[in-house]
Amino acid sequence: MGRRSLHTADELRELIISASTELIQESGLGGLSAREIARRINYSPGTLYNSFENLDDLVLTIEGRLLDDLLEALSAVPKGGDPRERVHRLAACYLSFAADNPKLWNLLFEHYIPDAHGVPESYRQKFEALLEKVEDALRPLAGGLGADEIKRSARVLWAGVHGLSSLSAADKLSVIDADEARTLLDDLVRNYLAGFERTRSA
């Protein structure tokens, strides 16, 4: 009969999330299935759908928690000192987070969401909160640039940081080691900031 009497609905939901996260960390998204999740938590596969609409809903929940953890890590980055160094620190934090959670991180690329379902607004808000960290870091360097220009610049810069971090986490840059990945990241940020500051004074 499994362990139905031992868990509330909230507890069962957390069991499913925990087991699914472990599966992804071990085998990536391809290792995730309702049957394997059920086996690990000692419930029937149908139990999963009492807590989540489908596997996409479950994976989005895991991704959302990953983004929450990333936002917490970025929020802990010191704000003082040279604003350029703050941008470098944020980028380094991002790279380290992706490297520490490679299979979970790759969910952001591997998980396809059908257009019919769409991305929940709460999920979009998590990305916006991350980008606001970059906007806040760029603002002291922006001079007379307007809010829209700062927002666009933050997205351009972070697209580069995100791409490098994700390639590194996916082991697509296996010809370089971690120190070299950090060097590439520093080059990216330094060169972008140089161009950004020239733009504000043009």
Residues 108, 182, single domain; the answer is: yes
- Ramachandran region of residue 134, left (φ > 0), alpha (ψ -120 to 50) or beta? alpha
101-123 confidence digits (pLDDT tens): 888 888 877 777 766 456 778 88
Instruction: Say how far apart CA 189 and CA 168 lie, in whole Å.
Output: 16
Range of the structural domain that residue 20 is part of: 1-52
Q: What is the DSSP letter of 77?
A: S
Residues 17, 89, single domain; the answer is: no
The reported pLDDT for the residue numbered 1 is 40
Q: Between 4 and 34, whose confidence is greater?
A: 34
* Residue 100: both structure tokens together: 């520490």
Residues 36, 68, single domain; the answer is: no
Instruction: Say how far apart CA 19 and CA 39 lie, in whole Å.
Output: 10
> The domain that contains 176 carries what CATH number?
1.10.357.10
Considering the chain, what percentage of its residues have pLDDT values greater than 70? 90
The reported pLDDT for the residue numbered 2 is 45
Residues 42, 124, single domain; the answer is: no
The reported pLDDT for the residue numbered 180 is 80
Residues 72, 146, single domain; the answer is: yes
The reported pLDDT for the residue numbered 51 is 92
The residue among 200, 67, 97, 91 whose CA lies nearest residue 145 is: 200
187 CA to centre of own chain:
22
Residues 42, 83, single domain; the answer is: no
Total domain count, the chain: 2
154-199 confidence digits (pLDDT tens): 999 999 998 888 888 775 555 566 778 889 999 999 999 999 888 7
Instruction: Say how far apart CA 60 and CA 69 lie, in whole Å.
Output: 14
> The domain that contains 16 carries what CATH number?
1.10.10.60
Instruction: Say how far apart CA 18 and CA 58 lie, in whole Å.
Output: 11
Region 4-15 average pLDDT: 84
The reported pLDDT for the residue numbered 139 is 94
Q: What is the mean pLDDT of the chain?
A: 87
